[in-house]
Structure 1
Amino acid sequence: MTEPSTQDPERPLILTYAPAAGRAALAALLALDDALAQLLRTTSQPAVGQLRLAWWRESLAKLDSAPPPAEPVLQGLATALLPLGVRGESLVPIVHGWEVLVEVEEALDTLALTRFATGRGSLFRAAGIALAAGEGDPLEQGGQGWALADLARHLGDGTEAEAARAMARPLLAAASGVRWSRNGRALGALVHRARLDLAVPLTAPVPVGAPGRVARLLWHRLSGR
């Protein structure tokens, strides 16, 4: 996986779309996703990666019954997310999703990509609870499409990346074709951003923060579309 840019002016903008009561919770969930992505980028041995991911699984589950350890991401989840009705155990599938990239020694096939998308994409379900998103918000499709589109950008320009993009397109098309509730629009903005990313060739950098992209996100904030 290639190293993503650390400069992302769009994320702080998207976080402002979340209701104030759930904004810190969404930020904490995205920080968890960032931490797991960083774990994989800095682990070259699969066995070590699985051990590190096992620690995260156990630590997330323990949030339901014990204070968090001295780890900023876990402390953020305990402080901002759990009081909103999201259990630490419900976050474990996110780790399972990332673990697919460690378990699969050969090329990522359709089954592996589906498992990854289902696991990592469950972040949207947890966020939906924290944000009190609308019942009609397509959290499952949006989360899976978002997960696959992001993965594709970090797989390079080979067949695995193209397969991830092909799976992401219909999911993102469905998730962006409905009107998101006001409380769910931060997640809808992540969906629209992922779809904008898919429009950029894998060999070209994503124009993060470009006026046209920001304008599209702002329109979603106003309209839910």
Structure 2
Amino acid sequence: MQDLIDSLPPLERLAASYAPAATRPLWIGYFALEQRLADAARDGRDAIMIQLRLAWWRDRLAEDATRWPKGEPLLAALGPWNAERAALSALVDGYEALHVGEEGAAPLDEARVGVMAALARLSHVSDMPTVERAAREWRALAPLAAPAPRLPRAMRPLAVLRGMALHGENGTPLGRFLRALRLGLIGR
């Protein structure tokens, strides 16, 4: 698991650190899958190669986790997602639509909202409207509403992602870091 954590970009690593210990592996698995899919579908790759790489992930996520190949650390990290594999599979479809289809980023952004809902269900969060609202604002699929939604502790990584997306690269690196700390600590 440490190798997956080390491979994450700084923002995702920081966001995952605010998840409770019980749900942190779910977040790390999600972030690592996003990174792996983004690499598989990166610009400059041939469309056929992108589809082949994404098809492997689609096939794995269509299977029960008990049938996944052993030895792939990311699949092992995604094992707890077994009940919500469909949400992860939608991510694969979103990356394919982004890089091979004509739909643009909309399917991928919708899939990310679905992943946040799945994370909430796996974390036993009952306030789904607040989670969905924050996820839609994070992906700019809904206008920002004031005040920011206060997310449950299990969804603090989403608060960090949403808040940092709202402010973008504005401010100094120290200011952005302090903003991320505040978002992670108080949830909005």
1:124-163 map, 5 Å: 124-136=116-128, 138-146=130-138, 148=139
1:1-225 map, 5 Å: 8-41=9-42, 44-64=45-65, 66-78=67-79, 80-82=80-82, 86-104=83-101, 111-136=103-128, 138-146=130-138, 148=139, 168=140, 171=142, 173-174=144-145, 177-197=148-168, 200=170, 210-225=173-188
In structure 2, what is the equivalent of residue 154 of structure 1? none
SS in 1 for 2:142: helix
TM-score normalised per structure 2 = 0.80
In structure 2, what is the equivalent of residue 153 of structure 1? none
Partners of 1:18 and 1:186 within 8 A in 2: yes
SS in 1 for 2:32: helix
- Deviation for aligned residue 1:33: 0.5
The count of corresponding residues between Structure 1 and Structure 2 is 182
SS in 2 for 1:122: helix
Paired amino acid for 1:189: V
TM-score normalised per structure 1 = 0.68
- Deviation for aligned residue 1:215: 1.8
Residue segments in structure 2 that go unaligned for 5+ positions in a row: 1-6
Query: Per-residue CA shift, 1:167-198, capped at 9, x if unaligned?
Result: x2x6362497211112211211111122222x
Separation in 2 of the partners of 1:29 and 1:185?
Answer: 14
Query: Per-residue CA shift, 1:9-60, capped at 9, x if unaligned?
Result: 3333221211110101110111011000011127621122112211111101
Aligned-pair Cα RMSD in Å: 2.8
Partners of 1:131 and 1:183 within 8 A in 2: yes
Paired amino acid for 1:223: I
Partners of 2:61 and 2:86 within 8 A in 1: yes
Partners of 2:32 and 2:74 within 8 A in 1: yes
- Deviation for aligned residue 1:65: 5.3
- Deviation for aligned residue 1:135: 0.9
- Deviation for aligned residue 1:8: 3.8
Separation in 1 of the partners of 2:64 and 2:137?
Answer: 28
Separation in 1 of the partners of 2:59 and 2:8?
Answer: 31
Query: Per-residue CA shift, 1:140-163, capped at 9, x if unaligned?
Result: 3443554x5xxxxxxxxxxxxxxx
Residue segments in structure 1 that go unaligned for 5+ positions in a row: 1-5, 106-110, 149-167, 201-205
SS in 2 for 1:193: helix
Query: Per-residue CA shift, 1:78-99, capped at 9, x if unaligned?
Result: 1x433xxx33233211111111
Partners of 1:15 and 1:23 within 8 A in 2: yes
